[in-house]
Amino acid sequence: MIASELEVLPSGCHVNKRSLSNEQHTFYRGLGQAAEIDGAAGEQVMAALARVAPDLGRYIVEFGFGDLYSRPGLDLKSRELATVAALTVMGHAQPQLAVHVHGALNVGCAPQQIIEVMLQMVAYAGFPVVINAVLTAQGVFEARGISLPLPAPAAG
């Protein structure tokens, strides 16, 4: 096998590019992205879906992580903050919001940035939705041992 035929995925796995279909390549790229971003929280979601709707888990990995999160143009921090904003305004996706708060922290977002993005959504979604989002984030912060209250954001 020629070294140029090998690809190292974000997960650290080596795969032979020539032996994978486009769909398989997207799936393995997605697995690597999901592991980097969501870690154990994402694995728990996939394990739960495997029992009842394994195809849904595959769609999330292939499309969400293999296609969308792998696109150029935005870094993972920006993508996770955008995802946190979207899930915040939805107002009914607290389990998914918790996974992506973990993901935002995993890719280097500061807790204060996450809260600021949620606060920005008050103008678009209202106080009840943002209160629920902030409380979801608080649960993630506490589970990860992040000291509360958070320091005030720097002016600027």
Q: What residue spans define the domains of the chain?
A: 1-71, 75-156
Q: Which residues of 78-96 are buried (b: 16+ CB within 10 A; e: fewer)?
A: ebbbebbbebbbebebbeb
CB 80 within 8 Å of CB 49: no
- Return d(Cα 77, Cα 107) in angstroms, integer: 6
Is 51 a residue whose pLDDT tops 90? no
- Return d(Cα 43, Cα 57) in angstroms, integer: 10
Q: Is the pTM of this model over 0.85?
A: no
The pLDDT of residue 48 is 86
Q: Is 14 strand, coil or helix?
A: strand
pLDDT tens digit string along 1-23? 444 444 554 444 544 555 556 66
Q: Class for domain 75-156, per CATH?
A: mainly alpha
- Average pLDDT (58-65) is 87
- Return d(Cα 19, Cα 106) in angstroms, integer: 31
pLDDT tens digit string along 69-102? 888 999 999 999 999 999 999 999 999 999 999 9
pLDDT tens digit string along 115-134? 999 999 999 999 999 999 99
Backbone angles phi, psi at 3, to 5 degrees: -60, -30
